[in-house]
Amino acid sequence: MGQIRDKLWRNYGQKLFLTATLPLILAAVVISVLVTLQSRQLAEREIRNLEEQLIAAKKDELKNYLSIARTAFINIYGRAAPNDEKAKLMITQILSGMLYGQDGYFFVYDYEGNNLVSPRQTHLIGSNWTGLTDPNGIAITDKLIALARSGGGYHSYTSVKPSTGETARMVAYVIGLQDWRWAVGTGVFVDDVKATVAASRAEVETRIRQTFLYIGAITLATLLLVFGSGLFITIRERRLADAKLKKLTQRVFDAQEEERGRVARELHDGISQILVGVRYALDTARRRLSTGDTTRAAGTLDNGIDHLSGAIQEVRRISRDLRPGVLDDLGLGPALKTLTEDFGTRTGIETEFNTVVFRNRLDDNAKIALYRVAQEALTNVERHAGATKLSIDVRGHARGATLRIADNGCGLDHSQADGTPSSGLGLRNMQERIEQLEGNLRILSSKTGTVIEATVPLSHLLPPEKSTEPEKKASA
């Protein structure tokens, strides 16, 4: 699992893409779920309303049918006595002949449960159907008779559909002929209502699926856009990074060549000239010794020895400039103090050095970076500032350590103050050295002088050593 996570989060582009796409995918899923729930709830309400409206229309239709049937036999029923069998026979014949549609008919039960009229289900005629129920256990005959006794009403149950022989839901409407104790009614099958409702639900599901497809397509298009944009930005940034890397590499090569040239010039102009003088003195002393002129030979040897001592001092100076031993042995404070004193002696500029003792607690990277910053700053002062005074202050504090270099020279131009000089690498090298330590470099320059302040964070200060012996190294 850790390897998979490392592969997924290997580079910045993948992190950016995942950070941008995961909220988008989550939002699309949440929107899809909410749209689905809301759509189905709304559709279900609409479908229920549609079903109720269709059932209500069927019920109104039943009332109309029964009203037509009543109109057909009302005159006979109105003039007949309760025991007029002839009139009853006439009405049963009228109702038996009143068929409509494929499955519509009228039925008659007496209040005892005997079927008198059922033209499409003739097997029911003449039998007593008290207690008859549908496959779901819903009472049929008893409920219809009860409604007729109370004046009439609707009843829904499952019955056999004459045209197909299959069971289907039926809504019946029944009225009572109280003088004859008859329940007269008709019914209509509502399977077409169910089909309409099922078609509506299927249409809703189709629309929901289409909405899902639309949301998915929009999300996919957005992801492709984000991916394409991220790929474009990544390629562009990589090209810029490659260009910057090439420039940085070139600057490193230039710095190396510049340093090599400086060392070569110092060796050629300094040590080489001194050693040539020593060789000349030794040759001269040898010739004088061969002629017996010991007095002058001794003087020439002394002169050669002095020149050799100067060569040794020059080698030490070059070595100290490349990597001062005091920086490793005693710490940053003594190294900067030595650098400041040598600078003042060499240039004649009045120098001042101040430090607060913090017991050699800077790590090696911070020591080297701050020392090189001081070197670059002193080189700039010597070459360009025209200053007469220079102060260096280094100290530790709650936020880390700070090196402050101030002079009273003519200052830097704007591009140099930004750390991007048109020529030379000094200020840029300072900036990069401090940035590698996650520190901060400030350059404040005016016509009255320049202040360079380099700060490294607390993470580059080592914890104090636990020791009972007195500290011998008294500075950074």
Judged on CB neighbours under 10 Å (0-12, 13-18, 19+), 245 is exposed
Question: Could you please report the per-residue DSSP string of 336-405?
Answer: HHHHHHHHHHHH--EEEEEE---TT-B-HHHHHHHHHHHHHHHHHIIIII--SEEEEEEEEETTEEEEEE
Q: Which of the residue ranges 171-180, 223-232, 259-268, 301-310 has the most confident prediction, judged by mean pLDDT?
A: 171-180
Question: Closest Cα to residue 448, out of 377, 383, 374, 387?
Answer: 387
Domains of the chain (ranges; CATH) run 47-189 (3.30.450.20), 245-309 (no CATH), 326-460 (3.30.565.10)
pLDDT confidence of residue 33: 82
pLDDT confidence of residue 464: 57
Question: Closest Cα to residue 380, out of 336, 333, 347, 332?
Answer: 347
pLDDT confidence of residue 57: 87
State the Rg of the chain over Cα.
55
pLDDT confidence of residue 333: 79
Give the phi and the psi of residue 462 in degrees, each rounded to 5: -80, 150
pLDDT at 466 over 70: no
User: The tokens of 277 are what?
Assistant: 């003088």
- Each residue of 168-193: b (16+ CB within 10 Å) or e? bbbbbbbbbbeebebbbbbbbbbeeb
Over residues 415-424, the mean pLDDT reads: 44
- Looking at every residue in the chain, the average pLDDT score rounds to 80
pLDDT in tens, 318-352: 776 666 666 666 777 788 888 888 888 888 888 88
> Which range among 75-79, 170-174, 219-223 shows the weakest confidence by mean pLDDT?
219-223
pLDDT at 424 over 70: no
- Each residue of 309-327: b (16+ CB within 10 Å) or e? ebbeebeeeeebeeebebb
Over residues 20-45, the mean pLDDT reads: 81
- Sheet bearing 350-355, strands edge to edge: 350-355, 389-397, 400-407, 449-457, 440-446
User: The tokens of 22 are what?
Assistant: 């995961």
pLDDT confidence of residue 118: 92
Over residues 227-248, the mean pLDDT reads: 81
pLDDT in tens, 183-194: 999 998 888 887
How far is Cα 281 from Cα 299, in angstroms, rounded to an integer? 9
pLDDT confidence of residue 360: 54
Q: How confident is the model at residue 398 (pLDDT cuts 50, 70, 90)?
A: confident
> Percent of the chain scored above 70 by pLDDT?
86
Q: Taking the CA of residue 351 as centre, how many other CA atoms within 13 Å lie in the half-sphere pointing to its CB? A: 22
Q: Which of the residue ranges 166-180, 268-282, 369-383 has the most confident prediction, judged by mean pLDDT?
A: 166-180
Q: Which of the residue ranges 172-181, 189-198, 429-438 has the most confident prediction, judged by mean pLDDT?
A: 172-181
pLDDT confidence of residue 401: 82
pLDDT confidence of residue 144: 93
Question: Could you please report the per-residue DSSP string of 304-337?
Answer: HHHHHHHHHHHHHHHHHHHS-HHHHHT-HHHHHH
How far is Cα 133 from Cα 130, in angstroms, rounded to an integer? 9
Q: Say if pTM beats, i.e. exceeds, 0.75.
A: no
How far is Cα 349 from Cα 326, in angstroms, rounded to an integer? 23
Say which DSSP state 472 is in.
S
Q: Would you say 344 and 351 are in contact if contact means Cβ atoms under 8 Å apart?
A: yes
pLDDT at 35 over 60: yes
pLDDT at 16 over 70: no
Question: Closest Cα to residue 333, out of 293, 307, 361, 295?
Answer: 361
How far is Cα 407 from Cα 404, in angstroms, rounded to an integer? 10
**Position 261: which residue type?**
G
